[in-house]
Structure 1
Amino acid sequence: MPGDAWDELVEGEIFRMSPPGYLHGKIEVRFITLLNNFVNAHQLGDVIGGEAGIYTHREPDSIRGVDVAFVSHQQMERAQSVTYLDVAPELIVEIMSPNDRWSDIMDKLEEYFAIGVKLVWVADPQRQEVLVYRSLVDVERLTPEDELKGDDVLPGFSAPVSELLQT
């Protein structure tokens, strides 16, 4: 049915994706709102969302849709594409949906860190946790009792995990 799916391009091959559910959307809006308020207040760059496409590989091309990302002014100045982001965001947020597979998430994380992403937050509403990836091997698990912090990417940013994952 038209409009019921979108695509990601992975090494030149098109993969059809199911659209996320409403809970995914609610949580995405929370991340975008909190990040955008902080980033705008400190004039740091741009927050993007809505499965915006970013290049993670060229020739063959890979274009991944990210749930939420922060891109500094310095990175945006280097961008050359007017369609998909061709510079690495400093931060990417991936929100797990019930049909997501961890192997697919790990593939994305590998691609993100390979292009220079510094921090990835993987929010899992079902498990009520956020996994903070500073690299593929430096991972911190946060529960609703914890505060999510921006580390060196967004110094001073902090948000309660319970607020972000509220269903």
Structure 2
Amino acid sequence: MTSLTLPLKFDLKNVHFTDEQFYQLCINNPDLTLERDAQGALILMSPVGGESGNTELELGIDLGIWNRQTGLGKVFSSSTIFRLPGGGSRSPDAAWVELSRWQALTPEQRQQFPPIAPDFVLELRSRTDSLPPLQEKMWEYLNSGVRLGWLINPQDQQVEVYRQGQPPEVRSLPTTMSGEAVLPGFTLHIERFEP
């Protein structure tokens, strides 16, 4: 997906969205997919194509099935924006939050953009995505408290695994991923992608 980033902090006009203004901007423009990075830049995301959309949903289904079986947390789609403690407002392609952390939020916080970093995030690089902005997004997740992240990169036939306090681990496809201590018992086999 191609994205356009607009800086929103200007010395001349001092343009800056509060969390509530950003929420209203998103609600008032439901046809737009918007995010903010940790510096407050507005990011307009384009829709993904059929292959990426299908793969994204299939990965989310696998995560959801595991969660239904374990009941350990809540699973979220790419339509969910999280207000990260580091300042960004991001929507991973799939995310998971441990149940007690989710239940600690107020009902109003759960209804709007939850002010919490997921425990696990998954990002899928679509055909038109540039890799460096996705890698920056993964670091933003870690800096906000995400414990485990997978960046699936079909173009390079690999997965980058992001963990707290460690450099990313790059795995070639096919590979079997483990949810480690974050998603106990969750495994996902990822085949090579067709060109």
| TM-score (ref. length: structure 1) | 0.85
Q: Is the radius of gyration larger for structure 1 or structure 2?
A: 2
Partner Cα separation in structure 1 for residue 72 and residue 180 of structure 2: 14
**Could you say which residue in structure 1 is the equivalent of 2:178?**
149
* Structure 2 portions without partners, runs of 5+: 1-28
Counterpart Cα distance in 2 of 1:122 and 1:45: 21
Range with bigger deviation, 64-73 or 101-110: 101-110
In the aligned structure 2, how far is the partner of 1:56 from the partner of 1:111?
A: 9
Contact 1:49–1:66 under 8 Å retained in 2: yes
1:8, 1:16 within 8 Å by CA — same for their partners in 2?
yes
Give me the whole-angstrom Cα distance separating, in 2, the residues matched to 1:6 and 1:157. Answer: 29
Write out per-residue CA displacement over residues 117-156 of structure 1, whole angstroms, 9 at most, x where no aligned residue: 0000001122222111113743222233321111111121
Contact 2:159 2:170 in 1 (8 A): yes
Q: Are 1:4 and 1:18, in contact at CA under 8 Å, matched by a contact in 2? A: no
Q: 1:104 aligns with which of 133, 152, 156?
A: 133
Structure 1 residue 4: deviation in Å? 6.5
Name the residue aligned to 1:45: 73
Secondary structure of 2:81's aligned partner: strand
The answer to whether 1:139 aligns with 2:165 is: no
Unpaired stretches in structure 1, ≥5 consecutive residues: none
How many angstroms apart in 1 are the aligned matches of 2:194 and 2:178?
Answer: 17
In 2, are the aligned partners of 1:44 and 1:73 still within 8 Å (CA)? yes
Q: Residue 152 of structure 2 aligns with which residue?
A: 123
**Contact (CA 8 Å) 1:129, 1:161: kept in 2 or not?**
no
Change (3 A) 1:91 1:50: same
1:74 alignment partner, one of 76, 100, 116 = 100
Q: Per-residue deviation at 1:86?
A: 1.2
1:89 to 2:118 alignment: yes
Matched residue count: 163
> Which structure 1 residue ranges, 4+ long, deviate > 4 Å from structure 2?
2-5
Give yes or no for the alignment of 1:162 onto 2:167: no
What's the Cα RMSD here?
2.3
Deviation digits for residues 25-54 of structure 1 (CA, Å, limit 9, x no counterpart): 111111111111111101111111123101
Please tell me whether residue 56 in structure 1 is matched to residue 79 in structure 2.
no
- Partner amino acid for 1:63? S
Deviation at 1:5, TM superposition (A): 4.2
| Higher strand residue share | 1
